[in-house]
Amino acid sequence: MRLLVCGGAGFIGSNFVRIRVRDHGDDVVVLDKLTYAGRPENLQDVEHTFVHGAIEDPEAAAEAMGKGVDAVINFAAETHVDRSIAEPDAFVKTHTQGTYVLLEEARRRGIRYVQVSTDEVYGSIEEGSFTEESPLAPSSPYSATKAGADLLVWSYFHTFGMETVICRGSNNYGPYQYPEKLIPLMILNALHADRLPVYGDGMQVRNWLYVEDFARGIGHALEHGGAGEVYNVGGPDECPNLEVVKRIVELTGADESIIEYVTDRPGHDRRYSLGSEKIRALGWEAQVRFSDGLPRTVDWYRDNAWWWEPIRSGDYRAYYERQYGKALGR
């Protein structure tokens, strides 16, 4: 297939492109605005055609889709909940206007469309797991605008009969994740003996999914998913944040005294849990348990300083100081 991957220079998008090119022999066009999280080096080892542009720009969308693609997979998004609380503007533009522009262009050309979404659109759940029928109850500007995008996608199926599929993933981890997110932040801080900032009591639970498993799940939905359908793609393991941080302390050989409890995130969702029976019935299964994926991820960051050193010495420092009220290294 020839695929248009929007947001392909980011964490999950670049893992998806690598798998599609290497394991499936696909031809890939990437459309990416290259925000702070979009990094060309994520794709330096994978053959692809690159279009630099924003999904909300109709000319960029037309240029990218005009390259004769069979399907569009939209990963492009602002993805950090803390940034959506501090500055929601880009989240609204990218998720609503951007998704709309892509849908219009894909509809005009009759191209199949896959929207990459998140378990956060369902909100928080105390017990049990969300199904695809669970009501949408997003809590943050990030998840509210992602839910808005999902509804727009659904409307293009319902109103125009467009071939759309939505994949909702749980928390991803693995290589090439920008260090603002829990796991890479804690790994890099632990390797530098910086403090490990745990929000609130650290007992919030996330449903961890190795990034290659999510990438394969999206590929599976692209190839086998029904038009208009939603598929949850959840990880095999749940774990409270504090336990994740303690495991990282152990794996990096750091000292537990660097763990520091800090002010909680406003509106913080307590627990996510996704039921993935629907995509499992199509033949997808998560392959990587958290007990294997976490040490693998620690090793990747330890071995790939070339990737994170420019980030930790660049704009990320200013972001970190704004978010945590302390400079990196203090």
Active site residues: 119-120, 142
Provide the edge-to-edge strand list for the sheet that holds 164-169: 49-52, 27-32, 2-6, 71-74, 112-118, 164-169, 229-233
Scanning residues 142 to 181, which ones bind ligand DAU (CB under 6 A)? 170-171, 181
Taking residue 8's Cβ as centre, other Cβ atoms within 10 Å add up to 30
The stretch among 51-59, 223-231, 255-263, 293-301 that binds ligand NAD (CB under 6 A) is 51-59
Contact call for residue 80 and ligand DAU (CB under 6 A): yes
> 204 is in the binding site of which of ligand DAU, ligand NAD, none (Cβ under 5 to 8 A by kind)?
ligand DAU
> 75 is in the binding site of which of ligand NAD, ligand DAU, none (Cβ under 5 to 8 A by kind)?
ligand NAD
Question: How far is Cα 207 from Cα 172, in angstroms, rounded to an integer?
Answer: 9
The mark string for 65-84 relative to ligand NAD (x by CB under 6 A, - otherwise) is ----------xxxxx-----
Which CB sits closer to ligand NAD, 77 or 221? 77
Shortest approach of ligand NAD to residue 23 CB, angstroms? Answer: 19
Scanning residues 176 to 205, which ones bind ligand DAU (CB under 6 A)? 181-182, 185, 197-199, 204
Shortest approach of ligand DAU to residue 123 CB, angstroms? Answer: 11
Q: Is 131 left (phi over 0), alpha (psi -120 to 50) or beta?
A: beta
Question: How far is Cα 195 from Cα 227, in angstroms, rounded to an integer?
Answer: 47
Q: CA distances (Å), 34 to each of 31, 50, 97, 256, in order?
A: 9, 11, 17, 36
Which CB sits closer to ligand NAD, 102 or 254? 102
Shortest approach of ligand NAD to residue 257 CB, angstroms? Answer: 29
> 81 is in the binding site of which of ligand NAD, ligand DAU, none (Cβ under 5 to 8 A by kind)?
ligand DAU
**Radius of gyration (C-alpha) of the chain in whole angstroms:** 19
The stretch among 156-164, 167-175, 220-228, 282-290 that binds ligand NAD (CB under 6 A) is 167-175
Which CB sits closer to ligand DAU, 119 or 150? 119
Quote the tokens at residue 146.
């992602």
| CA atoms lying within 13 Å on the CB side of residue 125 | 20
Residues 6+ apart with CB under 8 A from 256: 246, 249
Residue from 71, 81, 102, 167 binding ligand DAU (CB under 6 A): 81
* Strand partners of residue 118: 169
Can you give the binding site for ligand NAD, defined by CB under 6 A?
Answer: 6-7, 9-13, 32-35, 37-38, 54-56, 75-79, 94, 98, 116, 118, 146, 169, 171-172, 178
Can you give the binding site for ligand DAU, defined by CB under 6 A?
Answer: 79-81, 118-120, 170-171, 181-182, 185, 197-199, 204, 206, 241, 265, 272
